[in-house]
Amino acid sequence: MTAVLSTHGLVARYGDFQALYGVDVELHAGEAVALIGANGAGKSTFLRAVMGLLPVGRDMVRLDGEPVGGTSADRMVKRGVAIVPEGRRLFTGMSVEDNLKVAVDQAARLGAKGGWSIERLHRLFPILKEKAKTPVQSLSGGQQQMVAIGRALLCQPRVLLCDEISLGLAPKVIREIYAALPEIRGAGTAMILVEQDVGLAKEATDRLYCMLEGRVTLSGRSAEVTREAIGEAYFGAGHAVV
């Protein structure tokens, strides 16, 4: 079975600073994979590189086996990849409805088809219906995150990249957002979740990769990987999770 998304020796740099040193990750259809690691391990860089926001070699990223590395972000959307970016990056000054409509517009323009509509999104996150006319900058962090997830879903992705969707949110809100993930997966969307919270990551995914200093130091089934193994991979050899 070929992976829907795979990276092969993925290398990325910001100017002179090399952030990724040959990362191999595979994502199969309908699967959820977690990417964990400390700050600066290269998790967000990995997502940005996959999404076409950083220059990478053609063969380093494959979608359904086809090389797509370095394809611009808008064309990655056309090919069925969407991202919930770090920091949410909503369109400030526009209403919730207009933020979502931008994605609907572009999906229609690009001919991307899928099961997501604004109505279905409202069933998933009812608060977004209530706040439809509200400018996004007046929403709470959790509501903003829901808009960011909704905007990505309305791009009708086969692969959804989520960058720290729990960051800065209250535990109750995090649970609410994570409770939506099964339905998103149920729609046939495969996911890569970048997550700081190891417990949350293990629960929500089938497999996980742990990164350290731009390399994958551990991979395995989320249910089977031990805390000790993660601790070692997370901080480097010789450390342990207390």
Partner 1 sequence: MQWFDALVQGILLGGMYAQYALGMALMFGVMRIVNISHGDLVILLSLIGISMATAWGLGPLAVLAILVPLGLFMGWLLQKAVLNKVVGSDPLPSLIATFGLSIALQNLMLQIWSANSRSLPGGGIESRSVDIGGIYIGLLPVIVLVVAIALTWGLDLMLKKTRFGRALRAAAADVEAAAMTGINPRAVYALATAVAVGILGFAAVFQSLRSTVAPADGAAQLIYAFEAVIIGGMGSVWGAFIGSMVLGISQGIGFRIDPGFGVLAGHLVFLIVLATRPQGLFGKA
Contact residues for partner 1 (CB under 8 A)?
Answer: 51, 53, 72-74, 77-78, 82-83, 85, 89-94, 98-99, 101-103, 105-110, 112, 151-152, 155
Dihedrals φ, ψ of 47, to 5°? -65, -45
Q: Are strands 190-194 and 32-37 parallel, antiparallel or unpaired?
A: parallel
Quote the least distance from Cβ 83 to partner 1, whole Å. 5
Instruction: Judge whether 25 and 7 are in contact, CB under 8 Å.
Output: yes
What torsion, rounded to 10 degrees, do the Cα atoms 189, 192, 197, 200 define? 30
Q: Which is nearer to partner 1, 111 or 238 (CB)?
A: 111
Dig out the tokens for 234 from the structure.
């997370």
Quote the least distance from Cβ 19 to partner 1, whole Å. 17
Q: Which is nearer to partner 1, 90 or 230 (CB)?
A: 90
Whole-number Å distance between alpha carbons of 68 and 48: 13
Quote the least distance from Cβ 102 to partner 1, whole Å. 5
Q: Which is nearer to partner 1, 155 or 198 (CB)?
A: 155
Q: Which is nearer to partner 1, 32 or 112 (CB)?
A: 112
Quote the least distance from Cβ 74 to partner 1, whole Å. 5
Quote the least distance from Cβ 73 to partner 1, whole Å. 4
Q: Which of 86, 41, 22, 40 is nearest to 211 (CA)?
A: 41
Q: Which is nearer to partner 1, 8 or 78 (CB)?
A: 78
H/E run at residue 37: strand 32-37
Whole-number Å distance between alpha carbons of 76 and 74: 5
